[in-house]
Amino acid sequence: MNGFKDVENRSWRTKHRGTLLIHASSSTLWVSAEYSDRIRREYGVTLPQEFELGGIVGVVEVVECVKRHSSKWKFPNSWGWVLENPWRLPFRPCKGFVGLFKPQL
């Protein structure tokens, strides 16, 4: 939600275009000093010390879904959801689900 990523990698393709709420998982799997160090080294981005977890954190526009993209964030062999116009929203707790879902706020 800080405007760094312009591609979100997924194993599946989406036909969705337009506004999408961004949900932060409640998992702490990716919240570690080692992960933050790797992101800083590989992408030149310093992650915050604390994360809001388990809720809606922002909005972004999905403009394309591609297999190839020049973004440094695009992983090989994944679908890249091309993102534009991210903006942060006030945190709102919300249970997450796998895939696209309508939040139960």
1 is a domain residue: no
Query: Per the domain annotation, does 44 fall within a domain?
Result: yes
Query: What does the pLDDT look like over 87-104, one tens digit per residue?
Result: 999 999 999 999 999 998
Q: What is the pTM of this model?
A: 0.87
Tell me, yes or no, whether 99 lies in a domain. no
C-beta of residue 96 within 8 angstroms of C-beta of residue 52: no
pLDDT at residue 4, as a whole number: 87
Q: In what order do the strands lie in the sheet containing 55-66?
A: 7-10, 79-93, 55-66, 18-24
| 70 part of a folded domain | yes
In a domain, 52, yes or no: yes
Structural domain boundaries, residue 14: 7-93
Amino acid present at 32: S
Can you read off the two tokens belonging to residue 74? 């695009």
Q: For residues 67 and 81, what is the distance between their CA atoms, to the nearest angstrom?
A: 9
* Number of domains present in the structure of the chain: 1
| Assigned domain for 75 exists | yes
Has residue 11 been placed in a domain?
A: yes
pLDDT digits (tens, 9 = 90+) for 20-56: 999 999 988 878 889 889 999 999 999 888 889 999 9
Provide the pLDDT for residue 85.
Answer: 96
